[in-house]
Amino acid sequence: MSSANKIPEKVTANEIRQAFRDNLHSGLGRLERFATKNDLYLALALTVRDRLFERFVETMDTYGGVNARRVAYLSAEYLPGPHLANNLLNLGITDVTREALRELGYDLDEFVAQEEEPGLGNGGLGRLASCFMDSLASVEVPAVGYGIRYEFGIFDQTIRDGWQQEITDKWLRFGNPWEIARPNIAYGVKFGGHTKTFSDQQGTFRVWVPDTEVKGIAYDTPIAGYRVKTCDVLRLWKAEAVESFDFAAFNHGDYYRAVQDKVVSENITKVLYPNDDVDVGKELRLKQQFFFASCSLQDMLNIHALLGGTPATFHEKWAVQLNDTHPAVAVAELMRLLVDDHRLGWEEAWAVTRKTFAYTNHTLLPEALEKWTVGLFGKLLPRHLEIVYEINRRFLDEVRARFPGDDARVARLSLIDEGGPRYVRMAHLACVGSHRVNGVARLHSELLKQTVLRDFAELWPGKFCNVTNGVTPRRFVALSNPGLTKLITSRIGDNWLRDLNQLRKLEPFADDAEFQQQWREVKLANKRRLAALIAERTRIKVAPESLFDVQVKRIHEYKRQHLAALHVITLYLRLRRHPQADVPARTFVFGGKAAPGYFMAKRIIKLINSIGDLVNSDPVVRDRLKVVYFPDFNVTNAQSIYPAADLSEQISTTGKEASGTGNMKFALNGALTIGTLDGANVEIREEVGAENFFLFGLTAEEVEKVKGRGYRPRDYYEQNRVLQEVIDFVASGALARGDRELFRPIVENLLNDDPFLLLADYQTYIDAQERVSALWRNPQAWTRSSILNTARMGKFSSDRSIRDYCERVWRIEPRSR
Ligand code: NBG
């Protein structure tokens, strides 16, 4: 990193105090003695925001020059987590701010606790986008994160009587001090209508005659890099009505219909679809996708023109990353803007488009691959459907030339699925319109080439690459785990927060008795804090000395929370039968949201809570097993959970989890992993060493083999006495006050179908858990492994992921190396 970019932050406590007061008085119109906690928080947030925007403006100036290529990260989801503490950290002004507030009689931690996080995403995909924003700024790549400003983000979860309840997320109700609205940055987005041919002196063109239009308004949130001058921006679009709204309705004097349609137009950015890894195929969702893709592209073209560029050189200045297929309609929209609005020829426009886009795939699950019926697509976006057809016609001609007579291949590759009702395949559009396609972990990228994108990989092998996911150590270690941060820094200095590979320098301390002792003390203190939080949220008392065995992530059958549940029941039945059995005390912590319409996932939540009710109150096992369902798993809660975990559960059916990123956050905080060879687990195990990882389960190839042979879960049930007891126990109604119906769907699913192979993996999972218990009995050996896990996680910084994208995909040199 060039030293000019290192920022010695010179702000004093006095200056912060002064700015804080100014903001309270002139920004909020509040007298200090009447100010609520929220007023005080807002005043501090505005104080910090001002400094961020100063930096943002400087960044624009620095990178505004002719040569910079910018990244546009297009993502329908972001999960930034609370901003205040992170911004103070990245600006390097936490201590001075704390001091400034202390002199006024306030506690910074209370201000931090006041903030409600923006839940503008479902899970890993949205959180990854936010880790990438932090890293883009930190390695000093000029970037804009484009997305949607949902008025209601992911629902808040409470647990009532063991069931998930969804509560509307009103994150904007007390105002959002981190964003500024920019009503002057607004674009029209059109929908519906028809197309027609139009001629003028320049020739004959297709034009789109839409029947409605909405306006997208930019809301900017600055994203500061860690201790560097660069400050990027998250630009989220909100839908509003345009004045000249519904031309037809106004002309006929139908005032009410015009107003009603206005409400409809504002609906576009009302709410986030709460589905992770599944496609619901809803019209409003397609509207959301097109809306933000269109606003973002118009904005980029506008900035490009302001900097003196022409449409033909767009790709030289913008590298646009498609975060999954949610923004893939941008491929057709850029073609429309270039061909219809800017009147480039088709070939030239297509060359620009392909050099602009790159596509990241995040899942192999067939139910998550987005497709839209041709009817719906054509109704909302008639001109784009024509463009998709034209892209497809030219593309398939190329395929036919390469593979003459191979009609089956042509049908498989086509952008249109003609197997039944016709669909537009968004992953195909993204592939064809991009110059690079990547998966998010080595295994995932390989499987992608062998399965869902196989024909594309055969056609264009050079287009495919891998970029393994990463996480930001700033939020997930420095902010979440200050105790560990201090301990690490005391031995190796603090440069590891910008160069995570430096954690390797901890290896020599792995066997150092004093360091081990300190390491355990940090973990225990984190577990005490989590235990207090668990008591507050669930009324359950857990012992901080017990093994904290944690599975937090979205609830999904492929992630197999119910396999972990079978393990809990196994231990419970063992202890009931042999109260003297040597089972080290464990606290099982589960957490995560289920899509509101996902029947099995919701039933799994109920199952876990029912096991908890039984186990936690049974005097025979009471102090040895505890089961907690931590409600409302989100970024804020995650920051308390990862640092307190001893064991990280990463037990998805092999081949189903594209990468996982929670796995990285746990290991970085010194948890040992029990996991399958799935997603990024493979690479984590490779880095930390097989001896520091509890492996179990079928490999990806074995999964295929077992399924190919005709998998019969009942065989496993019949041949394994303990497994039989466990399943029978669930079926018996013992967990449901005798009701045998409650968990019947789970039991029947496992015995008759078991699509995620729980029964096939059950015994090796239990065996691996026995190895966990054995190692736990030896604190020195456990601590050694824990230290080595952290020390060897350097690869999984999102800074490394971003540098990989710069090199393999965007061809940009980051300013910080
Ligand atoms: C998710 C995968 C995870 C992966 C994240 C981020 C979707 C579609 N995919 O395994 O399930 O870690 O993406 O890449 O949400």
**SS3 labels along 480-516:** CCHHHHHHHHHHHCCHHHCCHHHHHHHHHHCCCHHHH
- Joined together, the tokens standing for residue 809 give 């995909």
In whole angstroms, what is the distance from residue 643 CA to residue 518 CA? 15
A 10 A CB-CB count for 235 gives 22
Ligand 1 atom, smallest distance to 368 CA:
8
Phi, psi (deg, nearest 5) at residue 727? -65, -45
Given a cut of 80, whether residue 465 has pLDDT beyond it is yes
Q: Is 665 a catalytic residue?
A: yes
Read off the pLDDT of each residue in 555-574 and give the average, rounded to a whole number: 98
Query: Is the full-model pTM beyond 0.95?
Result: yes
From 440, 448, 556, give the residue whose CB has the most ligand 1 atoms within 8 Å, as the site to mutate.
Answer: 440
Q: How far, in Å, is the centroid of ligand 1 from the Cα of 699? A: 20
Does residue 564 contact residue 604 with C-beta atoms inside 8 Å? no
Given a cut of 90, whether residue 667 has pLDDT beyond it is yes
pLDDT, one tens digit per residue, over 99-157 is: 999 999 999 999 999 999 999 999 999 999 999 999 999 999 999 999 999 999 999 99
From 285, 362, 559, give the residue whose CB has the most ligand 1 atoms within 8 Å, as the site to mutate.
Answer: 362
Ligand 1 atom, smallest distance to 660 CA:
12
Ligand 1 atom, smallest distance to 679 CA:
10
Q: Is 661 a catalytic residue?
A: yes
Q: Is 371 a catalytic residue?
A: no
Q: Given pLDDT bands bounded at 50, 70 and 90, which one contains residue 816?
A: confident
In whole angstroms, what is the distance from residue 255 CA to residue 245 CA? 11
In whole angstroms, what is the distance from residue 630 CA to residue 621 CA? 21
Ligand 1 atom, smallest distance to 123 CA:
15
What's the pLDDT at 202? 81
Residue 41's Cβ-count burial label (10 Å; 0-12, 13-18, 19+) is buried
Edge to edge, what strands does the sheet with 647-650 contain? 625-630, 586-591, 547-552, 647-650, 672-675, 693-695
What's the pLDDT at 65? 63
From 75, 277, 437, give the residue whose CB has the most ligand 1 atoms within 8 Å, as the site to mutate.
Answer: 277
Ligand 1 atom, smallest distance to 124 CA:
5
In whole angstroms, what is the distance from residue 708 CA to residue 95 CA? 60
Given a cut of 90, whether residue 204 has pLDDT beyond it is no
Read off the pLDDT of each residue in 651-666 and give the average, rounded to a whole number: 98
Ligand 1 atom, smallest distance to 277 CA:
8
Among residues 570, 783, 592, 560, the alpha carbon closest in space to that of 671 is found at: 783
Q: Is 342 a catalytic residue?
A: no
Closest C-alpha residue for ligand 1 atom 13: 125
Q: How far, in Å, is the centroid of ligand 1 from the Cα of 51? A: 34
pLDDT, one tens digit per residue, over 335-357 is: 999 999 999 999 999 999 999 99
What's the pLDDT at 67? 67
Q: How far, in Å, is the centroid of ligand 1 from the Cα of 552? A: 14
Can you state the angle between helices 744-752 and 721-731, rounded to 10 degrees? 150
Closest C-alpha residue for ligand 1 atom 12: 660
Q: Given pLDDT bands bounded at 50, 70 and 90, which one contains residue 367?
A: confident
Residue 509's Cβ-count burial label (10 Å; 0-12, 13-18, 19+) is buried
What's the pLDDT at 380? 97
Q: Given pLDDT bands bounded at 50, 70 and 90, which one contains residue 729?
A: very high
First-last CA distance in the chain: 6
Does residue 231 contact residue 222 with C-beta atoms inside 8 Å? yes
Q: How far, in Å, is the centroid of ligand 1 from the Cα of 463? A: 21
Read off the pLDDT of each residue in 420-425 and give the average, rounded to a whole number: 96
> How many angstroms from the chain centroid is the CA of residue 770?
32
What average pLDDT does the structure give for the chain? Answer: 95
From 73, 75, 79, 125, give the residue whose CB has the most ligand 1 atoms within 8 Å, as the site to mutate.
Answer: 125
Q: How far, in Å, is the centroid of ligand 1 from the Cα of 698? A: 21
Ligand 1 atom, smallest distance to 661 CA:
12
Closest C-alpha residue for ligand 1 atom 3: 660
Between the alpha carbon of residue 187 and those of residues 80, 217, 262, 328, 796, the distances in Å are 25, 7, 16, 19, 38
Find the helix or strand (DSSP H, E) in which 319 lies: strand 318-323
In whole angstroms, what is the distance from residue 247 CA to residue 61 CA? 41
Q: Given pLDDT bands bounded at 50, 70 and 90, which one contains residue 66?
A: low
Does residue 697 contact residue 670 with C-beta atoms inside 8 Å? no
In 254-313, alpha helices (H): 255-266, 283-306
> Which residue type occupies 382?
P
Ligand 1 atom, smallest distance to 276 CA:
15
Q: Given pLDDT bands bounded at 50, 70 and 90, which one contains residue 3?
A: very low
Between the alpha carbon of residue 111 and those of residues 79, 98, 169, the distances in Å are 20, 10, 21
> How many angstroms from the chain centroid is the CA of residue 494?
27
Catalytic residue among 362, 593, 603, 656: 362
Q: Hey, which residues does 144 pair with through a beta bridge? A: 72, 233
Q: Who contacts 431 (Cβ-Cβ below 8 Å, separation ≥6)?
A: 359, 437, 453, 456, 463
Q: How far, in Å, is the centroid of ligand 1 from the Cα of 124? A: 5
Catalytic residue among 227, 371, 474, 559: 559
Q: How far, in Å, is the centroid of ligand 1 from the Cα of 469? A: 9
CA Rg, the chain, in Å? 27
In whole angstroms, what is the distance from residue 477 CA to residue 797 CA? 11
- Any residues with Cβ below 6 Å from ligand 1, and which? 124-125, 128, 276-277, 324, 362-363, 368, 440, 469, 657-661, 679
What's the pLDDT at 280? 80
Q: How far, in Å, is the centroid of ligand 1 from the Cα of 659? A: 6
> Which residue type occupies 411?
A
Q: Is 554 a catalytic residue?
A: yes
Can you state the angle between helices 124-138 and 84-91, rounded to 10 degrees? 20
Q: How far, in Å, is the centroid of ligand 1 from the Cα of 345? A: 37
pLDDT, one tens digit per residue, over 249-286 is: 666 777 776 677 778 888 999 999 999 878 887 999 99
- Joined together, the tokens standing for residue 613 give 């009710």
Calculated CA dihedral for residues 687, 693, 697, 701, nearest 10 degrees = 10
Catalytic residue among 554, 556, 593, 685: 554
Given a cut of 70, whether residue 7 has pLDDT beyond it is no
Q: Is 553 a catalytic residue?
A: yes
In whole angstroms, what is the distance from residue 561 CA to residue 665 CA? 18
pLDDT, one tens digit per residue, over 620-633 is: 997 899 999 999 99
Catalytic residue among 212, 269, 653, 661: 661
Ligand 1 atom, smallest distance to 324 CA:
8
Which region among 28-42, 49-63, 588-602 has the lowest average model confidence (pLDDT)? 49-63
Q: How far, in Å, is the centroid of ligand 1 from the Cα of 596? A: 19
Given a cut of 50, whether residue 471 has pLDDT beyond it is yes
Given a cut of 70, whether residue 449 has pLDDT beyond it is yes
Given a cut of 90, whether residue 79 has pLDDT beyond it is yes
Q: Given pLDDT bands bounded at 50, 70 and 90, which one contains residue 817?
A: low
- Joined together, the tokens standing for residue 524 give 């225990």
pLDDT, one tens digit per residue, over 544-562 is: 999 999 999 999 999 999 9
What's the pLDDT at 622? 77
Q: How far, in Å, is the centroid of ligand 1 from the Cα of 324? A: 9
What's the pLDDT at 1? 37
A 10 A CB-CB count for 500 gives 23
A 10 A CB-CB count for 264 gives 16
Closest C-alpha residue for ligand 1 atom 8: 277
Helix (H, G, I), strand (E, B) or coil at 728: helix
Between the alpha carbon of residue 72 and those of residues 77, 143, 783, the distances in Å are 14, 6, 42
Catalytic residue among 665, 685, 800, 815: 665
Look at the chain and count its residues. 817
Catalytic residue among 425, 553, 606, 800: 553
Strand locations in 414-565 (E): 416-417, 423-425, 436-439, 464-466, 547-552
Phi, psi (deg, nearest 5) at residue 180? -120, 135
Given a cut of 90, whether residue 205 has pLDDT beyond it is no
In order, the DSSP letters of 58-81 are HHHHHHTSTTPPEEEEE-S-B---
Does residue 177 contact residue 42 with C-beta atoms inside 8 Å? yes
Q: Who contacts 595 (Cβ-Cβ below 8 Å, separation ≥6)?
A: 274, 275, 276, 278, 554, 601
